[in-house]
């Protein structure tokens, strides 16, 4: 697969599905014709550097794809692709999470029925979306009016385009659930939100006190979460899993296995405290609570270890891929 094929493949993933085939056919024909004209003029087949120079004149794949999308007059073609991406980012990563987290917290801490906070959450989400769209649009409209040109993508290198036939494609449907789960856990682990405490067992009032093991692993877990989120964001923005990213992912998961083994070996995670007259029930609650946590981490450790083995298998058994681009 030469640079032209890799270029049009990269353009494809930035196009709506209904436009992909027609646009790619037209773009491939134009690029091939231009390459053949250059070869006739030069008297030899284009080298990779010459192909890279030809493609660079056409612009980054993201900008090329934007030329085939409906344009907005308020925001010209030079800024529209940036506007479109900024809008998608703000709506998906700001409005939706705030609505979901806000609704979840309201449901946990409020005595009102679920229907009540849903009724309040929907107008909040709508208002948040309107404000976000308005602010982003105003910013880009001002940039367009002032003829500001964004040059962040001007120095891209066509030779560094990923080769989908040799690099594994990570579908966004695989990345997003894990990313959302890690972000949610990070918010809780960092203490930004608190869930209600377990206060009753078998009709007996109890209090759970965390064992020292949790304070001992606070920073390792926090670092692991941040690193895992970084890998997920890389997979989201560049859904071709390179060897370097795979190695980092394996290292993070091996680190997670080490932390999980440390937790399992601790053996004690919470102390169940209550009225001494209910000692038998407290003892049973303490046993089952700690046993459940232990088995949960045993299963989690097995899952993470299997994920490590699967990633190693993917690296050592690379095969040409013909899977459609992630959308």
* Arithmetic mean of pLDDT, 274-297: 83
* Arithmetic mean of pLDDT, 253-262: 95
Q: What gap in Å lies between CA 118 and CA 107, rounded to an integer?
A: 9
Q: Do the Cβ atoms of 172 and 326 come closer than 8 Å?
A: yes
Residues 198 and 134 in one domain: no
Residues 99 and 38 in one domain: no
- Report pLDDT for 46: 84
Residues 35 and 93 in one domain: no
Mean of per-residue pLDDT scores for the chain: 77
Residues 37 and 58 in one domain: yes
Residues 49 and 82 in one domain: no
Which of 124, 27, 125, 119 is closest to 68 using CA atoms?
27
Residues 109 and 16 in one domain: no
Q: How confident is the model at residue 317 (pLDDT cuts 50, 70, 90)?
A: confident
Is there a domain that residue 14 lies in?
yes
Task: Give the dihedral of Cα atoms 103, 106, 108, 112; nearest 10 deg.
Answer: -110
Is residue 249 predicted with pLDDT exceeding 80?
A: yes
Is there a domain that residue 323 lies in?
no
Is residue 44 predicted with pLDDT exceeding 60?
A: yes
125 CB contacts (<8 Å, ≥6 apart)? 95, 96, 99
pTM of the predicted protein model:
0.53
Task: Look at the chain and report how many structural domains it folds into.
Answer: 3
Q: Where is average pLDDT lowest: 137-141, 210-214, 218-222, 289-293?
A: 137-141
Q: Where is average pLDDT lowest: 166-170, 192-196, 259-263, 296-300?
A: 192-196
- CA 119 vs CA 89, 122, 288: distances in Å: 25, 6, 39
- CA 320 vs CA 118, 165, 166: distances in Å: 47, 5, 5
Maximum distance among all Cα pairs of the chain, rounded to whole angstroms:
96
* Arithmetic mean of pLDDT, 288-313: 91
Q: How distant is the alpha carbon of residue 113 from its chain centre?
A: 32
Residues 12 and 98 in one domain: no
Residue in the structure block whose two tokens are 């192909």:
51
What share of the chain has pLDDT > 70, as a percent?
Answer: 71
Domain boundary pick from 161, 181, 205: 161
What share of the chain has pLDDT > 90, as a percent?
Answer: 18
DSSP bridge partners of 273: 207
Q: Could you tell me the two tokens for 115? A: 């229907």
Which of 54, 58, 59 is closest to 38 using CA atoms?
54
pLDDT in tens, 11-23: 888 888 888 888 8
Residues 218 and 279 in one domain: yes
- Strands, DSSP E only, in 192-293? 200-201, 204-210, 240-241, 270-274
Burial (CB count within 10 angstroms: exposed 0-12, middle 13-18, buried 19+), residue 236: middle
Is there a domain that residue 167 lies in?
no
Order of strands across the sheet that contains 200-201: 200-201, 204-210, 270-274
pLDDT in tens, 233-244: 888 777 778 888
Is there a domain that residue 307 lies in?
yes
Domain boundary pick from 45, 69, 93: 69
- Report pLDDT for 92: 67
Residues 284 and 310 in one domain: yes
Is residue 309 predicted with pLDDT exceeding 60?
A: yes
Is residue 324 predicted with pLDDT exceeding 50?
A: no
Q: Do the Cβ atoms of 274 and 203 come closer than 8 Å?
A: no
Domain boundary pick from 69, 90, 105: 69
- Report pLDDT for 228: 94
Is there a domain that residue 324 lies in?
no
Is there a domain that residue 166 lies in?
no
Residues 187 and 300 in one domain: yes
Residue 255 belongs to what domain range?
Answer: 172-316
Is there a domain that residue 258 lies in?
yes
Residue in the structure block whose two tokens are 């030779």:
159
Residues 303 and 192 in one domain: yes
Is there a domain that residue 192 lies in?
yes
- Report pLDDT for 322: 39
Q: What gap in Å lies between CA 20 and CA 14, rounded to an integer?
A: 9
Residues 196 and 281 in one domain: yes
Burial (CB count within 10 angstroms: exposed 0-12, middle 13-18, buried 19+), residue 15: buried
Q: Could you tell me the two tokens for 248? A: 């980092």
Is residue 251 predicted with pLDDT exceeding 90?
A: yes
């Amino acid at each position: 697969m030469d640079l032209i094929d890799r270029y049009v493949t990269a353009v494809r993933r930035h196009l709506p599905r209904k436009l992909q085939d027609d646009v790619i056919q037209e773009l491939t024909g134009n690029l091939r014709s231009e390459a053949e004209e250059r070869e006739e003029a030069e008297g030899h087949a284009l080298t990779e550097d010459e192909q890279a120079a030809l493609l660079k004149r056409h612009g980054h794949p993201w900008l090329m794809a934007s030329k085939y999308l409906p344009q907005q007059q308020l925001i010209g073609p030079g800024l529209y692709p940036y506007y479109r991406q900024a809008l998608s980012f703000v709506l998906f990563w700001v409005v939706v999470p705030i609505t979901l987290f806000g609704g979840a917290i309201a449901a946990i801490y409020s005595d009102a029925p679920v229907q009540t906070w849903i009724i309040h959450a929907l107008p909040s989400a709508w208002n948040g979306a309107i404000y976000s769209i308005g602010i982003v649009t105003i910013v880009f409209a001002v940039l367009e009016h002032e003829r500001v040109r964004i040059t962040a993508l001007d120095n891209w290198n066509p030779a560094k385009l990923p080769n989908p036939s040799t690099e594994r494609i990570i579908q966004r449907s695989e990345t997003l659930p894990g990313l959302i789960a890690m972000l949610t856990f990070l918010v809780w682990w960092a203490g930004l939100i608190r869930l209600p405490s377990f206060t009753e067992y078998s009709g007996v009032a109890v209090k759970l006190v965390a064992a020292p093991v949790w304070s001992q692993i606070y920073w390792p877990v926090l670092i692991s979460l941040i690193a895992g989120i970084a890998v997920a964001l890389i997979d989201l923005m560049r859904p071709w899993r390179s060897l370097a990213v795979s190695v980092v992912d394996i290292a993070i998961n091996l680190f997670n296995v080490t932390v999980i083994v440390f937790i399992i070996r601790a053996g004690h995670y919470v102390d169940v405290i209550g009225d001494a007259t209910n000692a038998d029930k407290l003892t049973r609650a303490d046993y089952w609570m700690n046993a459940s946590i232990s088995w949960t981490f045993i299963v989690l450790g097995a899952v993470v270890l299997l994920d490590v083995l699967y990633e190693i298998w993917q690296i050592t058994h690379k095969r040409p891929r013909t899977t459609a681009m992630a959308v």
